[in-house]
Structure 1
Amino acid sequence: MSVRFAYRFINLVRRRKQRNEDVKYNSLIIGAGSAGQIIIKELENSSVVQSIPKCVIDDDPNKWGRMLGNIPIIGGREKIIEAVQKFDITQIIFTIPSASAKDKREILNICKETDCKLLTLPEVYQLLNEEVFLQHLKPVAVEDLLGREPIKADLGQIKQQIQGKVVLITGGGGSIGSELCRQIATYDPKQLIVFDIYENNAYSIEQELKRNYPNLNLKVLIGSVRDQKRVDDIFSSYRPDIVYHAAAHKHVPLMEGSPNEAVKNNVVGTYNTSKAALKYNAERFVLISTDKAVNPTNAMGASKRICEMIIQMMDKDSRNRKKRTQFVAVRFGNVLGSNGSVIPLFKKQIAAGGPVTVTHPDIIRYFMTISEAVGLVLQAGTYAAGGEIFVLDMGQPIKIDTLARNLIKLSGLHPDEDIEIKYIGLRPGEKLYEEKLMAEEGLQKTENQLIYIGKPIPFDEKKFLKDLQSLIQSSQENPKNIEAQMQKIVPNFKFQEVVG
C-alpha cells in the first residue's frame, strides 16, 4: 500500500513539475468563496489548463492572511495592482457569481488597468443549479464593465401572460426578435410564429429553436410587414393572441441616406401590423421603440416616434370600439452586441490593428444587453393597460470613447499606443446625447423599480390619420423631402434640408 502511495506521489510531483515548466499563466483569483476554491482545485489538478494560481483577493478582512488550499489570501481589491506586480500575474479570474453588478464593475475596472488576461464566471442565475467548472469561465466582456443590476423580471407573471397563447414576433430573426423567441419558447406558448423578411436570419433562429425546444409548436414565415395582404393573411390564418413588433430599420446613418425606406418599413409596417392586430382581436400588441424617438434629429428616430403615435391611436380606437386589443410601446437605448452595433465594429477594427473610429470624444449613449432589453419587453407586457410607453431606467450613460478604450484594454492592448483612436465627427442626424423622455411625458412608477411609464402626449387623431396616410402615399413615390412631411406629424423633429 505504501509503495503504491509513494508511486502515485512521485507521479503527482512529476506532473506538477512538468506543468510548472509548461505554464502559460500565473493566475490571481478574485473571491475566496466556494467557487474560488473549486476553480483553484481544478487549476491545480488540470493536465490541460496551463495556469497556476498564485494568490487570492477577497474584500472580507477576516480572510486576509489565511490560505485557500495552498494559496494565500493577500487582501482586498486595493491590493490587485500590487499583487499583479509582486506575483508576476498574467491572468485574473473573477470567481464571485453572487457579486452585485456594482462590485463586479468596480473590481473589473481595476483589473482592466493591468495587462492581464481577464476571465469571469457567469452570474449565479446563469449557472442555475450547476456546479462550478473551469469550462464555465469566459473572457470578461465590455458589458461586465458597465455593471448594471439585472432586471428582476417576475417570471410567474410573464409565464401567465404567454403560456397557452399564440405569439407572433415580427422581425423574429433579428437581434431583439431572436432573443424574444428564445425567452418566449421557455414559457410554453401554444404556438410561436416567427415572421421575417430575411430568410437566413429566419432559418438560423428556426434551427436553434428546433434544436433547443423540440416540443415547441413553431412556425417560421417569410414576408414583409410592408405587404398588407401578407400580414392580413398571417393574422387571419393563425390568429395570434400576442404580437411583438420588432421588425424595423434601425441604422441612423443608413436611414439618413434612405429616409423613404424608414417610412415604408417602420411606419407602414407598424400601421399594417397594428391594424391587423385590431381587426383579428389580438389581446396585446407590443411595439419595440427607441430613445431616438425622443426629440428626434434623424429620420429613423422620427419614424419610430410616428410608430409610437400609431400605437396610441390604435389603442384609443380599440377602446372606442370596445375591443380587447391593448397597444403599448417599449422604449430603450442601444443594445450591446446587436447586429450593426458599435461593439462588433470596434472588435473588427481592433482585430485589424486599428484605428478604432469614434465620432466625437464627448458622445454618450445609454446601453443595455439584449437579454435586459427583452426582459423589459416581456415584463412591460404584463403591466400593460393600453396606450402606455414603457421606459427602462438605463442607469448612467456611457461615453463611447470610454467604451472603445475599455475594449482595447480587454484585448490586451493599449489605447493610443498599440491601437489608434480616431475621431471622425458626428454623422448626419446624430446627437451627442440621447434622451429617454420628452418633457411633457413625465414618469410614472411600476412594480419594477427599473421600468417606468411615460404619460402619452395627446394629439388630434383625425389630423394625425390624415397626415399619416399622406406620408405613406408620398413615401411610395420616393420624394426628396419626405422629412418635411414627417415634421408635420412630429413638430420637434429637427433635420437638415436637402439642397439641390
Structure 2
Amino acid sequence: MLDAFLALPRVYKRILSVTSDLVALTFSIWAAYALRLEQQYWLPDQKQAVVAALTILFTVAFFIKLGLYRAVIRYLSDKAFITIVYGVFASCLTFIVLGYLFQAFVPRSVPVIYGALAFVFVSGSRLGVRMLVNRPWEKEKESVAIVGAGETAMQLASALAQGTEYRPTAFITLNSKNHKTTVNGLPVVSLQYTVKTIKKYGIRRLLLALDADSSIDRKALISELEALSVPVQTVPSMSELVAGRARINDIRDLELEDLLGRDPVRTEAEVLAASLNGKSVMVTGAGGSIGSELCRQIIHHKPKTLVLLEQNEYSLYSIERELSAVNEIDDLGVSIFPILGSVIHRCRCEVVMKAFAVETVYHAAAYKHVPLVEHNVIEGVQNNVLGTWNVAEAAIAAGVERFVLISTDKAVRPTNVMGASKRLAELVLQGLSERQDATVFSMVRFGNVLGSSGSVVPLFRDQIRDGGPVTVTHPDIIRYFMTIPEATQLVLQAGSMGKGGEVFVLDMGEPVRIADLAKKMIHLMGLIERTDDQPDGDIQIVFTGLRPGEKLFEELLIGNNPHGTDHPRIMMARESSMPWSDLKAALNRLADASKRFDCEEVVSILKECPTDYKPVEAELVDLIATAPGVGQTVKSLGNVRKMPI
C-alpha cells in the first residue's frame, strides 16, 4: 500500500495533502470549541459554521501561497515546519477577523486552542508520513559515526540524513565532558568508548569531521582510530568547500596528509604579494601535479598575466578551464594564456616570454619518475637538463626578472639518472647566475609530495581495494613527504627570497617508513594485514626489491652546514658549483651525445660533472640502448641532423 501511495502522480499526492489538511483544520476548530465550552458534542450555529468554513478555506489558500504543498514530504525540512507556523498564525488571525465581521460567537481562547491543535495535526501528519516513508530507507542506509561534534560535524550529519547512503547514529567527541549528551537527536560518546559504540549501533565506518580551527592533535587521533576494525574516512577541507570543488557530504578516503601532523605553512603575504601581484608570471609544466597547484595559488595573488606552458594537451586544457572558472567566480581579473610547447625548444620559450612580457618563471616541467627515466635516459636528460638550460637562456634573453627551478631531494648524492639530471640542472642555474645578474636564478629542493602523479598513496589505495597484495620495494625504505599545497606555498615563499644562485631546501618534517605507511592505510580502510602471525588477515604486504636507480634513504642537503632564512620552514644549502666555461662545454657534449643516442656517453658526462652521481646499477638499463640490434640501428641513422636548442 505504501509503495502504491509513493507511486501516485504528484497532483494526486497534493490532493491528498489538501484533503488531509481540510479534515485536520475542521477537527481543530471543532475541538477548540468543544474544549473551551466543555461540550462533548458541540455543534456550531450558522454564523460559526460560516466563519469556520471560510477560515479553513483561507488557511488552505495560505498554505498554497507559502508553498507547503510543493514540499516533498520524504525530504521535509525545518523550513516546512516554519511555513506551517506562518500559515497557522495567519489562520488564527483570519479566524478572529471573520468572527468579528460575522458577529459570530468566538471566545478569545478558541483561536489559541485552534492554532495549537492545527499546528499539531498539520505538522504531525506530515512528520508521521515522512517517518513512515523514510523508515525502510533508513534501515537500508549504512550506519556511520561522526568523529567530532563541532559545526563541521553538524553540517555533515544534516547532509547525510538527507542522503541515501549513510545514516549517522552517533557523534564521537574528543572532549570527555560531552560524554552521554545528545546533539541533533544523536548520542555523543567519548572517544574512549568508541569500541562499545561501534558494537552497540552496528557502525560500519567512521567519518572524520573536525573543524578547521580545531587544536586537536590529528596525528594522535588517527593513531587511536587506526586500531579500530572499521574504515576511517573524512570530509573535504574547508578550502575545498569554499572554492566549490566539493560538498560537505563528499566522503573520501583518509589522505596521508592527515597523518603528517604538522602545523599549517606560514607564508609572508607581503613578500608574496610583492613578487606576484600585478606581475606577468609563467609556469612551465603547468598541467603537472606541482605546476597546476602553483597556478592555483599564484592566481589568488592576482598577477596581471599567467602563462601556462605545457606539452600535454589534455593537462593544459584541464588546468586552463579550472583557472578560468576561479578567475571568473572570484573576479580576479587575471589574463590567462594556455600555451602548448616543450621546454626543449628554446626559441619557442623565448618568443612566449617576450610576447607576454614575462617577469617571473616557475620551472616545474620535468620527468621525475625514477624507473622511467632510468629506462629512458636520453629523453630524461634532454628534458631535465637541456630543457632547463634552454628555458633559462630564453629567460635571460627575454629579460625575465626571477627564475625559480623546482628541484628534488633525489638530486642529493644521486643514485639514478633522474636525480643526476636534476642536480646538473641546478648546476646550470648556478652557472648562469654567476655569468650574469639581470635574471635572479634560485632553486627549491623538496621530497615526495602526497597525491602527485606517481605517488605511492593512490597506488596503495588501489591495491588495497583490489584485495592486495600491497607492493613495497624494501622493508626499510623511507621517504620525506609533504602535501602539494604545502610544498607549493613554500616554493612561492622561497622563490620570492632568492638573490641569485641559492639552493633552498624545504623542511619536510620527519621521514616516513613506506612499509609503516602501507600498514597504516590497510588499518584505516578497516582491514587487517595478513602476516605469519595473522594468516587470516585481509591484505598482504609483499616486498619486491629496490627498482632501478632507487635508494633506501633520501637526503635534502649535500653540505652539512645549511643556512637558516627568515622563514622557519626554509633553509639554504651550501652546494658546490662549476665554472660556466667548463659547464657549457659539458652541456654541449651532453647535447651532442643525446643527439647521437649515446647513453653511455651521457651517463659518463653526468658522472664527470660535480653531481656526485653514483649509479646503483652496474650496467645501463635504458630500454633502447639495451635492445637487440640497437647499435646497427643507431649507425644507420648516419649523420643525425643537429637539433635546435
Q: Once structures 1 and 2 are overlaid, which stretch shifts more, 369-378 or 87-96? A: 87-96
Q: How does 1:446-485 map to 2 (within 5 A)?
A: 446-481=565-600, 482-485=602-605
Give the 3 Å change call, closer, same or farther, for CA 188–458 of structure 1 in structure 2: same
Give the 3 Å change call, closer, same or farther, for CA 82–187 of structure 1 in structure 2: same
Partner residue of 2:91? none
Give the 3 Å change call, closer, same or farther, for CA 345–95 of structure 1 in structure 2: closer
Q: How does 1:393-408 map to 2 (within 5 A)?
A: 393-408=507-522
Alignment partner of 2:396 out of 274, 278, 281: 278
Residue 274 of structure 1: CA displacement?
0.8
Q: Kindly indicate whether structure 1 or structure 2 has the higher relative contact order, using CA contacts under 8 Å at least 6 residues apart.
A: 1
Q: Once structures 1 and 2 are overlaid, which stretch shifts more, 266-275 or 181-190? A: 181-190
Letter in 2 for 1:374: T
Q: How does 1:172-183 map to 2 (within 5 A)?
A: 172-183=286-297
Query: How far apart in 2 are the matches of 1:99 and 1:403?
Result: 26
Equivalent pairs counted in the alignment come to 491
Give the 3 Å change call, closer, same or farther, for CA 218–34 of structure 1 in structure 2: closer
Partner residue of 1:187? 301
Query: How far apart in 2 are the matches of 1:15 and 1:166?
Result: 58
Higher helix fraction: Structure 1 or Structure 2? 2
Alignment partner of 1:486 out of 606, 624, 627: 606
Residue 307 of structure 1: CA displacement?
0.8
Alpha-carbon contact 2:232-2:525 (below 8 Å) kept: no
Give the 3 Å change call, closer, same or farther, for CA 11–82 of structure 1 in structure 2: same
SS of match in other structure, 1:420:
strand
Give the 3 Å change call, closer, same or farther, for CA 479–98 of structure 1 in structure 2: same
Partner residue of 2:619? 498
SS of match in other structure, 2:271:
helix
Residue identity over aligned pairs, in percent, reads 37
Matched, 1:91 2:205: yes
Query: How far apart in 1 are the matches of 2:443 and 2:313?
Result: 26
Residue 332 of structure 1: CA displacement?
0.9
Matched, 1:444 2:563: yes
Q: Once structures 1 and 2 are overlaid, which stretch shifts more, 236-245 or 137-146? A: 137-146
Residue 15 of structure 1: CA displacement?
3.4
Matched, 1:433 2:549: no
After superposition, give the CA deviation of every residue in 1:139-191 in whole Å (9 maximum; x if it has no partner).
42233233332212233432331121111111111111111122222222211
Residue 127 of structure 1: CA displacement?
4.9
Q: Once structures 1 and 2 are overlaid, which stretch shifts more, 470-479 or 55-64? A: 55-64
Alignment partner of 1:326 out of 419, 426, 440: 440
Alignment partner of 1:344 out of 431, 450, 458: 458
Q: How does 1:306-317 map to 2 (within 5 A)?
A: 306-317=424-435
Q: How does 1:201-280 map to 2 (within 5 A)?
A: 201-214=315-328, 215-280=333-398
Query: How far apart in 2 are the matches of 1:371 and 1:491?
Result: 29
Residue 208 of structure 1: CA displacement?
2.1
Query: How far apart in 1 are the matches of 2:167 and 2:321?
Result: 40
Matched, 1:73 2:192: no
Letter in 1 for 2:258: D
Query: How far apart in 2 are the matches of 1:341 and 1:36?
Result: 30
Q: Once structures 1 and 2 are overlaid, which stretch shifts more, 479-488 or 347-356? A: 347-356
SS of match in other structure, 2:559:
coil
Matched, 1:161 2:275: yes
Query: How far apart in 1 are the matches of 2:460 and 2:157?
Result: 34
SS of match in other structure, 1:202:
helix
Query: How far apart in 2 are the matches of 1:341 and 1:95?
Result: 25
Letter in 1 for 2:378: N
Query: How far apart in 1 are the matches of 2:250 and 2:611?
Result: 51
Give the 3 Å change call, closer, same or farther, for CA 33–208 of structure 1 in structure 2: closer
Listed as ranges, the gaps of 5+ residues in structure 1 are none
Residue 347 of structure 1: CA displacement?
3.1
SS of match in other structure, 2:552:
coil
Query: How far apart in 2 are the matches of 1:148 and 1:274?
Result: 34
Query: How far apart in 2 are the matches of 1:490 and 1:84?
Result: 59
Alpha-carbon contact 1:364-1:434 (below 8 Å) kept: yes
Alpha-carbon contact 1:38-1:133 (below 8 Å) kept: no
Query: How far apart in 1 are the matches of 2:257 and 2:412?
Result: 25
SS of match in other structure, 2:393:
helix
Q: How does 1:8-87 map to 2 (within 5 A)?
A: 8-13=123-128, 15-16=130-131, 19-21=134-136, 22-23=138-139, 24-41=141-158, 43=160, 46-75=161-190, 77-87=191-201
Residue 335 of structure 1: CA displacement?
1.6
| Alignment TM-score, normalising by the size of structure 2 | 0.71
Give the 3 Å change call, closer, same or farther, for CA 125–174 of structure 1 in structure 2: closer
Query: How far apart in 1 are the matches of 2:215 and 2:457?
Result: 20
Letter in 1 for 2:574: K
Residue 301 of structure 1: CA displacement?
0.1
Query: How far apart in 1 are the matches of 2:465 and 2:476?
Result: 24
Q: Once structures 1 and 2 are overlaid, which stretch shifts more, 351-360 or 309-318? A: 351-360
Q: Once structures 1 and 2 are overlaid, which stretch shifts more, 482-491 or 61-70? A: 61-70
Residue 50 of structure 1: CA displacement?
4.7
Query: How far apart in 1 are the matches of 2:356 and 2:611?
Result: 38
Alpha-carbon contact 2:559-2:575 (below 8 Å) kept: no
SS of match in other structure, 1:345:
helix
Query: How far apart in 2 are the matches of 1:201 and 1:230?
Result: 19
Give the 3 Å change call, closer, same or farther, for CA 469–78 of structure 1 in structure 2: farther
After superposition, give the CA deviation of every residue in 1:175-226 in whole Å (9 maximum; x if it has no partner).
1111112222222221111111222211222222233324431212222111
Listed as ranges, the gaps of 5+ residues in structure 2 are 1-114, 531-536, 621-625, 627-645
Residue 41 of structure 1: CA displacement?
4.8
Give the 3 Å change call, closer, same or farther, for CA 133–71 of structure 1 in structure 2: farther
Matched, 1:387 2:504: no
SS of match in other structure, 1:149:
coil
SS of match in other structure, 1:177:
helix
SS of match in other structure, 1:89:
coil
Alpha-carbon contact 1:64-1:73 (below 8 Å) kept: yes
Partner residue of 1:145? 259
Alignment partner of 2:540 out of 420, 423, 442: 420
Query: How far apart in 1 are the matches of 2:232 and 2:278?
Result: 43
Give the 3 Å change call, closer, same or farther, for CA 391–15 of structure 1 in structure 2: same
Query: How far apart in 1 are the matches of 2:228 and 2:357?
Result: 56
Alpha-carbon contact 1:355-1:419 (below 8 Å) kept: yes
Letter in 2 for 1:55: A
Letter in 2 for 1:227: H
Query: How far apart in 2 are the matches of 1:483 and 1:202?
Result: 32
Letter in 2 for 1:467: A
Q: Once structures 1 and 2 are overlaid, which stretch shifts more, 330-339 or 55-64? A: 55-64
Query: How far apart in 2 are the matches of 1:342 and 1:305?
Result: 23
RMSD after superposition: 2.7
Alpha-carbon contact 1:480-1:498 (below 8 Å) kept: no
Alpha-carbon contact 1:274-1:311 (below 8 Å) kept: yes
Alpha-carbon contact 1:293-1:305 (below 8 Å) kept: yes
SS of match in other structure, 1:73:
strand
Partner residue of 1:290? 408
SS of match in other structure, 2:337:
strand
Which of 1 and 2 has greater Rg?
A: 2
Alpha-carbon contact 1:468-1:489 (below 8 Å) kept: no
Letter in 1 for 2:124: F
Give the 3 Å change call, closer, same or farther, for CA 54–220 of structure 1 in structure 2: closer
Residue 133 of structure 1: CA displacement?
7.3
